[in-house]
Structure 1
Amino acid sequence: MRTYPATPVEMIAGLWRHKELIYVSAKREVLGRYRGSLLGLLWSFFNPLFMLAVYTFVFSEVFKARWNAANDSKVEFALVLFAGLLVFNLFAECFNRAPGLVLGNPNYVKKVVFPLEILPFVVLLSALYHAAISLGVWLAAYVLLIGMPHATVFYLPLIVIPFLMFVMGLSWALASLGVFLRDVSQITSVLTSVLLFLSPIFFPVTAIPEGYRHLLYFNPLTGVIEQVRAVLYWGAAPDFQLVTIYWIVGICIAWIGFAWFQKTRKGFADVL
């Protein structure tokens, strides 16, 4: 029976080896989402703007929510909210789709030459494309409504890259589990809804009573959202100690997820 390398080196080398296939697949993934629609790729601009408008109206007008009690600005609330949604939407798209990646492509499993391990990365690139569009919308809104962004925006890759590795690790693990446990997709759907409201997206961490605040950090999205918000909107440097932990955890989770996927993939054909 064929064995599949599961080393950290193979994790990187495999993605690089199939970079052209990944690029073509990711491009098809993005274009396929809007194929046949009248506006095409323009929907990637309108979707985040529409959701931002809805969330901002509901929380700032209906619930009268304000990010800072001393500042009644709806612009601040909208931009801070949008920054949190950037992180969450990237995570949610990969997290929800991962369990069905192998399950939904049984023909790929039967093709020995097809590198199944690239499937989660293709989805990640597609999600990253939409996140980049949303970030561009955010920056444009900031320039128009406030002024030039803070120089700390250049710290963003330092925070986002380990987060992407964390997401990849989860995606590899869930893609494998989804083959053997068909309930995984239902569980991820419920967890995504829970995480949306247990992450500091619609409220600051300081809104939580101090005695319970530490519990919020068990949510893996909390720290990332707070750090992204700090460098994008508040103009503060990231917590470098926390970022270092992100890098260590991100690399470990990516490798563990990849190793699990490689060790279990030989059983995919038997199940499918």
Structure 2
Amino acid sequence: MKKNNTETGTPRELLTSLWRNMPLIRRMTKREVIGRYKGSIIGIAWSFFNPLLTLLVYTFVFSKIFQSRWPASTGNSTGDFAIMVFTGMIMHSFFSECLNKSPETLLNNKNYITKVVFPLEILPIINLGVAIFHLLISLIVAAVALAWLDHTPSLTLLFFPLVIIPLMLGTAGITWITTSLGVYIRDIGQIVVFLSSILLFLSPIFYPTSALPQKYQIWMSYNPLTYFIETSRGILINDAPPDLIQLIYVYAIAFLIFFAGYYWFQKTRKGFADVL
């Protein structure tokens, strides 16, 4: 029986596995995206209309019912508050989609575990690919909304991919861990759903961090989503480039989580078949 040569969990083996299996990752990601909307009347178009309808609801509720204004905002448009909230929701939705699905990933693909030559480590990456697809669609909706608000894009948009990449790396590392734990501890599925719901309100989505008292701002900085939400708003809406020193620090942490998550997954995968 052939042994999978990517079980020691080194960074080199991870990169080799991702490169070698990239065609398989693309095919399975595409199949997952199409399969999610299979059978619906308008099909994959829902991936566009869902965030669009969400943005319209936010705009109506916050601007017409609550008549909310974003703290320190100089804009007068009724959609200013909604686009601020929607931008934060994009970041949270990306992370929560990957996190919530991860504990069930191996449980729903038991047949792959018996095939020792199948690269199990790519299954969380496929979930990540699906989330990236929805992230891109939501960003298109946000771009349309910003154009409607007469926001002229600037060169700071070039920094946006540099901010999203560490979010993807860190999310992949975390989901490798929760995917593995989901096999051994079935309660993990309920725990991560609860945590992602809590993060919705404990992240600066409906408010900026600066609106909090100073003592709470310090705690907010420990939220992994805070940096990505605030920095994304700065780039997309306020034309503010990220702090490069802070960005380097974020990359270092993201790579650490990325490789640590993979190492954990590879070291715990030996018991998957016995448990399932």
TM bucket by the smaller chain? over 0.9
User: Given the alignment, which residue of 174, 191, 195 partners 2:195?
Assistant: 191
User: Where in structure 2 are the equivalents of 1:67-78 lying within 5 Å?
Assistant: 67-68=70-71, 71-78=75-82
User: Given the alignment, which residue of 6, 14, 18 partners 1:11?
Assistant: 14
Task: Tell me the distance in 2 between the aligned counterparts of 1:210 and 1:66.
Answer: 21
The answer to whether the 8 A contact 1:150-1:233 is kept is no
**Alignment match, 2:206:** 202
**Alignment match, 1:171:** 175
Task: Describe the superposition over 1:51-99 as per-residue Cα deviations: whole angstroms up to 9, x where unpaired.
Answer: 2222333333333321135544322112211211111111010010011
Task: Tell me the distance in 2 between the aligned counterparts of 1:154 and 1:135.
Answer: 14
User: Where in structure 2 are the equivalents of 1:45-194 lying within 5 Å?
Assistant: 45-68=48-71, 71-194=75-198
Amino acid at match of 1:143: A
Task: Tell me the distance in 2 between the aligned counterparts of 1:68 and 1:264.
Answer: 47
Q: Secondary structure at the match of 1:105?
A: helix
Task: Tell me the distance in 1 between the aligned counterparts of 2:224 and 2:151.
Answer: 31
Task: Tell me the distance in 1 between the aligned counterparts of 2:189 and 2:254.
Answer: 23
The reply to whether residue 267 of structure 1 matches residue 274 of structure 2 is no
Task: Describe the superposition over 1:21-62 as per-residue Cα deviations: whole angstroms up to 9, x where unpaired.
Answer: 101100001000110111111101110012222233333333
Task: Tell me the distance in 2 between the aligned counterparts of 1:179 and 1:16.
Answer: 26
Structure 2: state its 5+ residue gaps: none
Task: Tell me the distance in 2 between the aligned counterparts of 1:106 and 1:88.
Answer: 29
Moved more, 120-129 or 71-80: 71-80
User: Where in structure 2 are the equivalents of 1:221-236 lying within 5 Å?
Assistant: 221-236=225-240
The answer to whether the 8 A contact 1:139-1:149 is kept is no
**Alignment match, 2:221:** 217
**Alignment match, 1:37:** 40
Task: Tell me the distance in 2 between the aligned counterparts of 1:51 and 1:154.
Answer: 26
How many pairs align? 272
Task: Describe the superposition over 1:121-163 as per-residue Cα deviations: whole angstroms up to 9, x where unpaired.
Answer: 1010111011101111111221232143121011011111011
Q: Secondary structure at the match of 2:79?
A: helix
Shift of 1:262: 0.3
Change (3 A) 1:53 1:144: closer
Q: Secondary structure at the match of 1:161?
A: helix
Task: Tell me the distance in 2 between the aligned counterparts of 1:52 and 1:207.
Answer: 23
The answer to whether the 8 A contact 2:205-2:229 is kept is yes
Task: Tell me the distance in 2 between the aligned counterparts of 1:39 and 1:114.
Answer: 34
The answer to whether the 8 A contact 2:174-2:258 is kept is yes
Q: Secondary structure at the match of 2:108?
A: coil
Task: Tell me the distance in 2 between the aligned counterparts of 1:57 and 1:106.
Answer: 45
**Alignment match, 1:253:** 257
Normalised by the size of structure 2, how large is the TM-score? 0.94
Amino acid at match of 1:28: R
Task: Tell me the distance in 2 between the aligned counterparts of 1:147 and 1:65.
Answer: 20
Task: Tell me the distance in 2 between the aligned counterparts of 1:152 and 1:165.
Answer: 22
Task: Tell me the distance in 1 between the aligned counterparts of 2:261 and 2:247.
Answer: 21
Structure 1: state its 5+ residue gaps: none
Moved over 6 A (4+): none
Normalised by the size of structure 1, how large is the TM-score? 0.96
Shift of 1:217: 1.0
